[in-house]
Amino acid sequence: MGKKLQQTFLASLVPEDTLGQLFEMLPNVYFFVKDAEGRFMRMNPALLHAIGFRDETEVLGFTDADFFSPFLAHGYREEDRWIVSKNRPVRDKIWFVPNSKGLLVCYLCSKAPLHDRSGRVVGIAGVMRDARSAGAVIGPYEDLKAAVDYLNGHFNESIAIERVAAMVHLSASQFQRRFRALFQTSPIQYLLQLRIDSACQQLQCTDLSVGAIALENGFYDQSAFCRQFQKRVGLTPRQYRTRFGKNAKWSPSSP
């Protein structure tokens, strides 16, 4: 009886009133909806403000690739595709998302597939919480917080993993195992991610030379920087600047 009553009630609601309205009122919960192509269909004010926008119309129809570096956008999109293809949710996954100043913020993210009336997956809905206010759910993250904060703040310096591990009272091997279990990547690969993302921001927003950007982001060999950049982004630094730099003749709808 109760289940049938619930179904009858929910079916009577106007669809627009059932999706996202409550999230408009929650300042510390970040809510979004994407279609199956990864285009944003809803975003609540808290998330808009966090990533540097004022009105939902500024993001509707755009994708992660329009707002974030190719490296970060690729990771977000791959997870979305997995959810759509498998028709399964993802719960309490840690993601790093740039804020309005380009600094990476740690969020605890859960996503679920959305279905049309025929049962076909047509998109995803996601909820994020700032890791600093997510409480006991992120206990494993809190255990490594000092090390993660150090990597985030010193990624452009020469870093010894043994020293970082000691900050959280672990051996290097223990730290690497726990880090990989939490972030699905190694500390070294995470460090490279931070450096490449910072380089993307500088290629987009500054006129610094490729060599200067390499040095500023902890690469002491420009050739090594270019190899790592192309491997992760799919473009050379110069190609990336030509396409996405501040003088590029490019728009989000460009191929």
Structure tokens at 148: 């993660």
Q: Which residues of the chain, if any, have pLDDT below 70?
A: 1-3, 6, 9-22, 27, 70-71, 100-104, 131-141, 246-255
Contact between 200 and 71 (Cβ < 8 Å):
yes
Of 49, 66, 54, 57, residue with least CA distance to 105: 49
| Nearest 10 degrees: Cα torsion 154, 246, 56, 64 | -60
Instruction: Return contacts of 108-115, CB within 8 angstroms, 24+ apart.
Output: 108/134, 108/137, 108/138, 111/79, 111/80, 111/83, 112/83, 113/83, 113/84, 113/87, 113/88, 113/89, 114/33
- What is the predicted pLDDT for the residue at 234? 82
- Which helix (DSSP H) or strand (DSSP E) does residue 245 occupy? none
> Most distant CA pair in the chain: distance in Å?
69
In terms of DSSP H, where are the helices of 109-186?
A: 139-154, 161-167, 172-183
pLDDT the model gives residue 72: 76
Instruction: Give strand pairing partners of 90.
Output: 111
pLDDT, one tens digit per residue, over 40-53 is 998 998 899 888 89
106-to-21, 43, 179 alpha-carbon distances in Å: 25, 18, 14
pLDDT of residue 245: 75
Residue 5: the pLDDT is 75
How does DSSP assign 70-97, residue by residue? HHHHHHHHHHHHHHHHHT--EEEEEEEE
pLDDT for residue 139: 61
pLDDT at 222 (0 to 100): 93
Cα–Cα distance between 228 and 213 in angstroms, integer? 13
Residue 236's Cα: distance from chain center in Å? 22
- Cβ–Cβ under 8 Å, residues 40 and 61: yes
Can you give the pLDDT at residue 143?
82
Look at residue 215 in the predicted model and tell me its pLDDT: 95
pTM of this structure: 0.59
What pLDDT digit, counting tens, does each position of 126-173 carry?
A: 999 876 664 444 566 678 888 888 888 898 999 999 999 999 999 999
Please name each of the domains of the chain with its CATH number.
Answer: 16-133 (3.30.450.20), 137-243 (1.10.10.60)
